[in-house]
A and B are shown apart, each in its own frame.
Chain A
Amino acid sequence: MSAAALAAPARAAAKAASGASVARRNRDGYLFLSPWLIGFFCLTGGPILASLYFSFTDFSLFNEPAWVGLENYKRLIFDDPRYRTALGVTLAYVVTSVPLKLAFALAVALLLNRNISGVGLYRAIYYLPSLLGGSVAVAVMWRKIFAYDGVVNDMLLWFGIDGPSWISNPDYALSTIVALAVWQFGSPAVIFLAGLKQIPPELYDAADIDGAGRFATFRTVTLPLLTPIIFFNLVMQMISAFQAFTPSFIISNGTGGPDDSTLFYTLYLYEEGFSHFRMGYASAMAWALVGIIATATAFTFISSRYWVHYGDR
């Protein structure tokens, strides 16, 4: 028997043994993942599929769902002016709160990146609003600050100004909620800070030798190298902003008022589902939101080709 003929079974055996080893490794991996997998398929995957089914039904919570095809989606697009209001309010919130929050977070990260004493303490302090920001308690506090007889108007009174009720005037209510979102800059700021630490100091030295000023250094060194981090923060904050619920729910007493000026998408979805018992319609709204977020995210990813700079390209 030739050496080659002898080697073939050995290779096959080795391949089989290697395959068995991979299968065993995979099995172990899946075993360790099983708590999450079971949780996902039973607790998350099931309801996700159920809500997709409900979105094609007339389901009032108490009765059996009745199939209505695309009726709920048709109503969303053609026959619900409040849906368009909620979409408009949410888009206005996303396009104002996200850039403002990122700009503020970047500014704070640049400050915290400097070598000053006690910087660790400052970082913790600046991060605190993000830990608390989404909570009911902070939304309640926001109400107290911006109400007609709140802290802001009390301070304005010192200067003889009788301020409006910032949270219950349609001209200002959304801006107040945007301010609350911007105040929660801690999380993107921490990520920006990590990104700033990754920028090689040699580049700053080179810019210094070339005579670049602070602004030129920021524009030509810091900003381009930070674009992957900006991109990441932008996507995360945008998705989160589309799903905003708590601030509007608390500040407007769950109504989206005054005059629907803070009627966020998720708040209207909640109202339709749990106050008006139109769970089928609410499910259709949820899936439409998935589509809207996916489209916005895809657009951001496509645009990133033109403005995000990775060091290895």
Chain B
Amino acid sequence: MNLNRTRRQILKVTALAALAAPALVRAQTAQRIRYAGFVQSEGELKQLLAALNRYKAINPGVDIVPEFTNFSSFIDKLATETSGGNAPDMFSCNVDIVDEYARRGVLRPLTSYTPNPIDLSDYVQGAVKAATVNGQLFAFPNDAIGPALVCRADSFKKAGVAQPNQMWTWEQLAKISVDLTKANGPRFWGMEDSGSNYIPCDLFMRGMGKTLFTPDRKIGFQSADLAEWFAYWDRLRKSGGVPPADIQASVNGSDITTFLVTHGRAAMTAALTDKFAGIQTMVTNSELFLQMLPNGFDGGTMKQNHYVYAGNSTGLSAKSPHVDRMVDVVRYLHRDHEGVKLRYLGSGMIPCSKATRDMLVATGNPVDAKIVAYIGLLQQQEAAPRSPGVVGMSNMLRRMNEAVAFGRLKPQDAAAQFIEEAEKRLKA
């Protein structure tokens, strides 16, 4: 046998196979879709992957590559990939991402895909509005969420404190927080410090008849209003209603495993309803309930300031070629009975469509039922959804609240600094 010749033949065959391989792979997988996003819990991720795998199984030739992580990691990754011309084909968006990425031309306009195949008529209209930029829809709202206090029933019971009326005041919240701290012993606090969280801050402003940001991307409050916000939490810190600054600083606002409520060291935390199921899964020794944040101030006008919107919508990349297929994936997850059950049931994520929500409640999952009931309560007198703020707003508010908490800035100075930074970013 001529060894050299054999070797040459093997090399030729290998080279040909290497050249042909990508074409063969392309032929086998007609449509390869990268689906990136953020999830609130491990359980939600498992369910979403199960639904996507099922979709692939019933649609041969479609390959969906999932790229899911938590919210903060996702934002950085999405920005990096997009700038490198490697944006995912479809990806999760919140209100701020939709606004930012639509204005920058990254998202594809989707109005032509409604009402057929995606009919949004029974979706939460606040969510549809939030996904609309300059009259064009840029994302399909996946869920319905609202601001809430997630509360531990056992801590309330131990303190002999009844669940407050939904139309309560910020002063009452402060008093109850201190009472809960006193009744539940050392290393326990009535409420987690929410001074860094812009959604309760927005509700605080609404209680004063203002908002954090206006629909035309302007600051909707005065410096003294924000100073009062920082001062409110500072007073609560000093009276023991919320934890000391160093304890609260160890909590990561987007990671429920770090919440003090999760660890049985606080009775209440401000969160969005999509975190409720994840926290309840980890809190095995107490039932949780949802309570509205305060809706006004003592002696002021009481008004339901909460709103329902989508925390997680799906946008499609303007550059992706598989538009129809991606819209069909959304249809499967939003409207198909099987897809909805796999995707939503027990995950804590409540569908944006009323019909789909009803379908979910009919399955009898108690946690889902609690969230749907709360969303329904908010919708009875729904307020206007929050307007997008500026990129990095969450981080800015956290820094200012921490500066006050650790005694480096006075509330007035922190408010002035926040406004100065926000105005610079609004102009950018």
Partners in one complex: yes
Any B CB within 8 A of the CB of A227:
no
Q: Tell me if A274 and B76 are in contact (CB < 8 A).
A: yes
- In the complex, the number of residue pairs spanning A and B with C-beta atoms less than 8 Å apart equals 75
Any B CB within 8 A of the CB of A254:
yes
Q: Tell me if A168 and B395 are in contact (CB < 8 A).
A: no
Q: Tell me if B246 and A279 are in contact (CB < 8 A).
A: no
* CB-contact partner of B250 in A61, A148, A260, under 8 A: A148
Chain B residue contacts of A167, Cβ below 8 A: 250
Any B CB within 8 A of the CB of A164:
yes
Any A CB within 8 A of the CB of B252:
yes
Q: Tell me if B106 and A62 are in contact (CB < 8 A).
A: yes
- Complex: A60 Cα to B105 Cα, angstroms: 13
Q: Tell me if B399 and A275 are in contact (CB < 8 A).
A: no
Any B CB within 8 A of the CB of A210:
no
Contact residues of B between 370 and 404, Cβ < 8 Å to A: 391-392, 395, 398-399, 402-403
Any B CB within 8 A of the CB of A277:
yes
Q: Tell me if A255 and B395 are in contact (CB < 8 A).
A: yes
Any A CB within 8 A of the CB of B284:
no
Q: Tell me if B408 and A271 are in contact (CB < 8 A).
A: no
Any A CB within 8 A of the CB of B249:
yes
Contact residues of A between 264 and 287, Cβ < 8 Å to B: 271, 274-279
* Chain B window 84-117, contacts with chain A (Cβ cutoff 8 Å), 1 for yes, 0 for no: 0000000000000000010011100000000000
- Complex: A257 Cα to B250 Cα, angstroms: 9
Task: Determine how close the nearest CB of chain B comes to the CB of A232; give it in whole angstroms.
Answer: 35
Chain B residue contacts of A278, Cβ below 8 A: 428
Any B CB within 8 A of the CB of A170:
yes
Q: A62-B105, A63-B104, A170-B406 are in contact. Are A258 and B83 (CB under 8 A)?
A: no
Q: Tell me if B79 and A165 are in contact (CB < 8 A).
A: no
Chain A residue contacts of B272, Cβ below 8 A: none
Q: Tell me if A164 and B425 are in contact (CB < 8 A).
A: no
Chain A residue contacts of B106, Cβ below 8 A: 62
* Chain B window 199-215, contacts with chain A (Cβ cutoff 8 Å), 1 for yes, 0 for no: 00000000000000000
* CB-contact partner of A165 in B80, B104, B250, B391, under 8 A: B250
* Chain A window 235-247, contacts with chain B (Cβ cutoff 8 Å), 1 for yes, 0 for no: 0000000000000
Contact residues of B between 293 and 327, Cβ < 8 Å to A: none
Any B CB within 8 A of the CB of A169:
yes
Residue of B nearest to A61 (CB): B83
Chain B residue contacts of A257, Cβ below 8 A: 249, 398-399, 402
Chain B residue contacts of A147, Cβ below 8 A: 250
Chain A residue contacts of B250, Cβ below 8 A: 147-148, 165, 167-168
* CB-contact partner of B246 in A148, A253, A260, A276, under 8 A: A148
Chain A residue contacts of B391, Cβ below 8 A: 275-277
- Complex: A225 Cα to B333 Cα, angstroms: 71
Any A CB within 8 A of the CB of B245:
yes
Q: Tell me if A259 and B76 are in contact (CB < 8 A).
A: no
- Complex: A165 Cα to B265 Cα, angstroms: 15
Q: Tell me if B403 and A61 are in contact (CB < 8 A).
A: no
Contact residues of B between 239 and 281, Cβ < 8 Å to A: 245-250, 252, 255, 263
Chain B residue contacts of A279, Cβ below 8 A: 83
Interface centre among B106, B250, B398 (most CB of A within 10 A): B250
Chain A residue contacts of B49, Cβ below 8 A: none
Q: Tell me if B247 and A259 are in contact (CB < 8 A).
A: no
Any A CB within 8 A of the CB of B365:
no
Q: Tell me if A255 and B76 are in contact (CB < 8 A).
A: no
Q: A62-B105, A253-B252 are in contact. Are A148 and B399 (CB under 8 A)?
A: no
* CB-contact partner of B392 in A149, A259, A275, under 8 A: A275
Q: A165-B250, A168-B249, A279-B83 are in contact. Are A259 and B425 (CB under 8 A)?
A: no
Task: Determine how close the nearest CB of chain A comes to the CB of B371; give it in whole angstroms.
Answer: 27
Q: A148-B247, A168-B250 are in contact. Are A258 and B406 (CB under 8 A)?
A: yes
Chain B residue contacts of A62, Cβ below 8 A: 82-83, 101, 104-106
Task: Determine how close the nearest CB of chain A comes to the CB of B282; give it in whole angstroms.
Answer: 15
Chain A residue contacts of B403, Cβ below 8 A: 259
Residue of A nearest to B104 (CB): A62
Any A CB within 8 A of the CB of B9:
no
Interface centre among A254, A255, A278 (most CB of B within 10 A): A255
- Complex: A288 Cα to B294 Cα, angstroms: 48
Q: A62-B104, A62-B105, A62-B106 are in contact. Are A276 and B425 (CB under 8 A)?
A: yes
- Complex: A168 Cα to B398 Cα, angstroms: 13
Chain B residue contacts of A61, Cβ below 8 A: 79, 82-83
Chain B residue contacts of A254, Cβ below 8 A: 72
Chain B residue contacts of A259, Cβ below 8 A: 249, 399, 402-403, 405-406, 408
- Complex: A277 Cα to B104 Cα, angstroms: 12
* CB-contact partner of B247 in A63, A165, A260, A271, under 8 A: A165
Q: A62-B104, A275-B75 are in contact. List 18 more A-B contacts (CB 8 A).
A: A60-B428, A61-B79, A61-B82, A62-B101, A165-B246, A165-B247, A168-B249, A170-B406, A253-B255, A255-B398, A257-B402, A258-B245, A258-B249, A260-B399, A274-B76, A274-B79, A275-B392, A276-B425
Interface residues, chain B, CB within 8 Å of chain A?
72, 75-76, 79-80, 82-83, 101, 104-106, 245-250, 252, 255, 263, 391-392, 395, 398-399, 402-403, 405-406, 408, 425, 428
4 nearest A-B pairs in the assembled complex, by CB-CB distance: A168-B249, A61-B83, A258-B249, A169-B246
**Can you list 8 A-B contacts (CB < 8 A)?**
A62-B106, A63-B104, A253-B72, A253-B255, A259-B405, A271-B392, A275-B75, A278-B428
